[in-house]
Amino acid sequence: MRIVVLAGGIGGARFLRGLLKAAPDAEITVVGNTGDDIHLFGLKVCPDLDTVMYTLGGGINEEQGWGRADETFHVKAELAAYGVGPGWFGLGDRDFATHIVRTQMLAAGYPLSAVTEALCDRWKPGVRLLPMSDDRVETHVAVDVDGERKAVHFQEYWVRLRASVDAHAIVPVGAEQAKPAPGVLEAIAEADVVLFPPSNPVVSIGTILAVPGIREAIADAGVPVVGLSPIVGGAPVRGMADKVLAAVGVEATAAAVAAHYGSGLLDGWLVDTVDAAAAAEVEGAGIRCRAVPLMMTDLDATAAMAREALALAEEVRG
């Protein structure tokens, strides 16, 4: 079975771990969000690609969900001693090595997709990890600071501001001109099923879908498209997805997120058992819906979620 998964960072990566356990023989292609990417300290940082790569490759800091295990921060401290920041973004020494390799390869002319493949040669994530695009796309967030509207990079909004101020708009700058990375459209066209893990529907999956051609390829693939709600009981399972949902006028409920994707894209939607009452609303919008436990508390629970998603895909195919 060929499965394509659109993934953001922590939620997507943890779901993929369950999917690999649930479907060990599947050929899994992950299309990763690169709208969170940022240039810092002269280096190109790709948080979501790295989170997937480290999580599946066994190098992730499990407690945080991002960055490397057994990390130290000597380089960052040395840079700070020179007055070089930003201090608000935690780049560790081991992680720095990844960004140095990536930046060197990009400077030598390799596209991000080739760089990602080279990095994955080390980590062997067990999936084919593709960036959504080789072109630069950067998610910016419009916020009010000291009474003035300005756009900040998504990482500044998420990490420095902790999403503590209202987001007035979310703009994936560069997405309109971006092309899907090599292999993305082909993987979608050849897929037996497309899954949306419980990643952020706006700044992760929404950004991937904003790359021209990707949404259309999924809709045209003629295969089941099944998503898992990142909202449980009216709140994000983790992260601050409700903040960015509000920016695009979507309520933080499992049913509203399903409607946001729409029946033109989504065939099936899993909501948590606490949201079982929302299933009728989702089905009324033309999307097959089942209520199952959606908390990724451990690998077995996550694999069970992945099995439910694949079962729902078979049901809608039927």
Ligand X SMILES: O=c1nc2n(C[C@H](O)[C@H](O)[C@H](O)CO)c3cc(O)ccc3cc-2c(=O)[nH]1
User: Which residues are annotated binding-site positions?
Assistant: 50
From 6, 8, 157, 208, residue interacting with ligand X (rule: CB under 6 A): 8
From 15, 96, 157, 158, residue interacting with ligand X (rule: CB under 6 A): 158
Q: Where are the alpha helices (DSSP H) in the chain?
A: 10-22, 47-57, 74-81, 93-107, 112-123, 154-155, 184-190, 205-209, 214-220, 241-247, 254-261, 279-284, 299-317
**Considering only 75-83, 90-98, 130-138, 220-228, which stretch makes contact with ligand X by CB under 6 A?**
90-98
What is the C-alpha separation between 293 and 108, in angstroms, rounded? 47
- Of the candidates 209, 135, 215, the one whose C-alpha atom is nearest the C-alpha of residue 170 is 209
**Considering only 40-48, 104-112, 168-176, 287-295, which stretch makes contact with ligand X by CB under 6 A?**
40-48
Q: Is 36 in the site for ligand X (CB under 6 A)?
A: yes
Nearer to ligand X, 61 or 282 (CB): 61
From 100, 159, 189, 274, residue interacting with ligand X (rule: CB under 6 A): 159
Q: Is 138 in the site for ligand X (CB under 6 A)?
A: no
**Considering only 72-80, 89-97, 139-147, 307-315, which stretch makes contact with ligand X by CB under 6 A?**
89-97
74: burial class by Cβ within 10 Å (0-12, 13-18, 19+)? exposed
**Considering only 42-50, 190-198, 267-275, 302-310, which stretch makes contact with ligand X by CB under 6 A?**
42-50
Nearer to ligand X, 34 or 259 (CB): 34
Strand order in the sheet with 193-196: 128-131, 27-32, 2-7, 193-196, 225-228, 268-271, 288-291
147: burial class by Cβ within 10 Å (0-12, 13-18, 19+)? exposed
From 3, 6, 9, 96, residue interacting with ligand X (rule: CB under 6 A): 9
The pairing of beta strand 148-153 with beta strand 169-173: unpaired
- Whether the CA torsion 209, 214, 220, 221 is positive or negative: it is negative
Q: Is 66 in the site for ligand X (CB under 6 A)?
A: yes
From 55, 61, 113, 155, residue interacting with ligand X (rule: CB under 6 A): 155
Residues numbered 241-270 forming contacts with ligand X, rule: CB under 6 A: none
Q: Is 47 in the site for ligand X (CB under 6 A)?
A: yes
What is the C-alpha separation between 102 and 115, in angstroms, rounded? 6
Nearer to ligand X, 128 or 238 (CB): 238
Cα 48–49–54 angle (5° rounding)?
Answer: 100
What is the C-alpha separation between 266 and 259, in angstroms, rounded? 9
The owner of tokens 């690999």 is: 20
Size (the chain), residues: 318
- The CB-of-194 to ligand X minimum distance in angstroms stands at 20
Q: Is 236 in the site for ligand X (CB under 6 A)?
A: no
What is the C-alpha separation between 299 and 187, in angstroms, rounded? 26
Site mask, ligand X, residues 91-130, x = CB under 6 A? x---x-----------------------------------
What is the C-alpha separation between 50 and 40, in angstroms, rounded? 15
- The CB-of-218 to ligand X minimum distance in angstroms stands at 21
Q: Under rule CB under 6 A, how many of the chain's residues touch ligand X?
A: 17
The pairing of beta strand 288-291 with beta strand 268-271: parallel
Nearer to ligand X, 66 or 261 (CB): 66
Q: Is 201 in the site for ligand X (CB under 6 A)?
A: no
Q: Is 50 in the site for ligand X (CB under 6 A)?
A: yes
Binding site for ligand X (CB under 6 A): 8-9, 36, 45, 47-48, 50-51, 66-67, 89-91, 95, 155, 158-159
